[in-house]
Amino acid sequence: NAGVTQTPKFRVLKTGQSMTLLCAQDMNHEYMYWYRQDPGMGLRLIHYSVGEGTTAKGEVPDGYNVSRLKKQNFLLGLESAAPSQTSVYFCASRSADSGNTIYFGEGSWLTVV
């Protein structure tokens, strides 16, 4: 039972490059989220999805795009990376049932130079 898996775990990008972070969950969860976590800032929501084929903006969506073509996958894209996007990115998922335990991935460390 893998839970929530993120790839890659570490990546260094040059300013202006693009990349995609992949999140996969094997729990058949409806909701999926992408957060970034910076020192002293806590978890900030970038984008989220409430089901296959749906996405919505969170608190800090600028510079990112997402897609959820399959229920188990939630992709986060950076079209033109900037140093301000250096951060740790966490994917999370939860079921639509009440109770709503949130399951997180192990994080993806991204450095933009």
Summarize as ranges the residues that interact with other proteins (CB under 8 A): 4, 31, 33, 40-43, 45, 48, 50, 56, 58, 90, 92, 94, 98-107
CB nearer other proteins, residue 18 or residue 111: 111
Please state the closest distance from residue 1 (CB atom) to other proteins, in A: 14
CB nearer other proteins, residue 69 or residue 98: 98
CB nearer other proteins, residue 58 or residue 77: 58
56: CB partners within 8 A, 6+ apart: 47, 48, 49, 50
Please state the closest distance from residue 15 (CB atom) to other proteins, in A: 25
Q: Which residue has the tokens 């992709």?
A: 75
Please state the closest distance from residue 50 (CB atom) to other proteins, in A: 5
- How many angstroms separate the CA atoms of 77 and 68, rounded? 12
Classify 18 as helix, strand or coil: coil
Q: Counting Cβ atoms within 10 Å, is residue 15 exposed (0-12), middle (13-18) or buried (19+)?
A: exposed
